[in-house]
Amino acid sequence: MNTPRLLLTASIFFTILILNACAPDRILIDLAPGDGRLTETAVFKDSGAPDTAPKVAMIDVSGMIASIATGGLIPSGGNPVDDLVARLNKAAEDASVRAIIIRVNSPGGTVAASETMYNEIRAFRKRTKKPVVISMAEVTASGGYYIALAGDQLVAQPSSVTGSIGVIFQTFNFSEGMRRFGIESRAVVSRPNKDIASPFEPPVEEHYAILQSLVDDFYAKFRALVAERRPDIAPADMDTVTDGRVFTGSQALELHLVDKLGGVREAFDAAKSLADLDRAQLVKYHAQGRRPNSAYALGPELNARLNPPQSTEINLVQLNLAAAESAGASGFYYLWTPALTRP
């Protein structure tokens, strides 16, 4: 038996297993195949509203937030940040679009991508003056909530899971297991901190102190943004809402993390109110020839990416080989990472 190869294979397997169990391995935002050209379909219209009625555009943000190409082993060529900006630009250029809804269903993702998407949504709001309503689906946690803070109003379903305000830098260390098999790792580095938190070297506390300082810095910014964008949160509750725990939509309303309860229709009403509209139509952007059946449709092209043919299912946990690439986009995450099992 080739012991080193066995150990390395096991290490890679469990790393992918844990990462894939923590969260979806990609973000999907109404992506279009081929040349990426977008069209729109009205998925809901107020009674009596004509076909020329003002529009509210809805953009779906689903899955892992990261500035990476999506599409499995063969990336589609785009990335989630670019796709979001493309849809914001389309909404900005259409004078008949009077407001937008961003429907978020995400446990979060990398710090940088979450920050970038937040900034792009805020830039859209400043540039166009068009209101932005956030509609929370099943999960809008950590980086998903960071993005949600860009909205003028946050609407959560009572059963939505949100919160998880904080930062995580996940590390693994295989040095003890390697030692038991007689395997020794020795990195040749330019300076002592070049191999910081290497999984193949014994842990060095000074390395983790450096990483902790970065985590603390990212967390301080996240917490400050919560305080800025959600001023109705009671100072006495700030430590509770930003300690990493999650809340239901109903709990989030009580703590002023969100503004009201409801689904897409309630978010549509909120958008109309902010845009001072009596009647409007809700439109979704999608690839040509991929008409959605309702406001909740992600589209065949999205379903294909959520369930790629390269996947292998083991013990009800889907292992996608693209997860390793996706996780490598950044080491610092605004991400809700529930445990694989609970006692």
* Catalytic residue list: 142, 194
Could you give the CA distance from residue 229 to residue 250 in angstroms, rounded to a whole number? Answer: 19
| 268 in Cβ contact with 56 (< 8 Å) | yes
In degrees, to the nearest 5, what angle opens at C-alpha 50 toward C-alphas 44 and 53?
Answer: 75
Q: How remote is the C-alpha of 98 from its chain's centroid?
A: 25
Contact present, 329 and 110 (Cβ < 8 Å): yes
Cα separation of 252 and 261, whole Å?
9
Q: How far is CA 205 from CA 198, 218, 278, 317, in A?
A: 12, 20, 61, 33
Alpha carbon of 160 to those of 35, 136, 137, 328, 334: distances in Å?
34, 7, 6, 28, 18
H helical segments located in 99-204: 111-128, 143-148, 175-180
Read off the tokens for 3.
């012991």
- Mapped onto helix, strand or coil, the DSSP state of residue 274 is helix
CA distance 341 to 263: 30
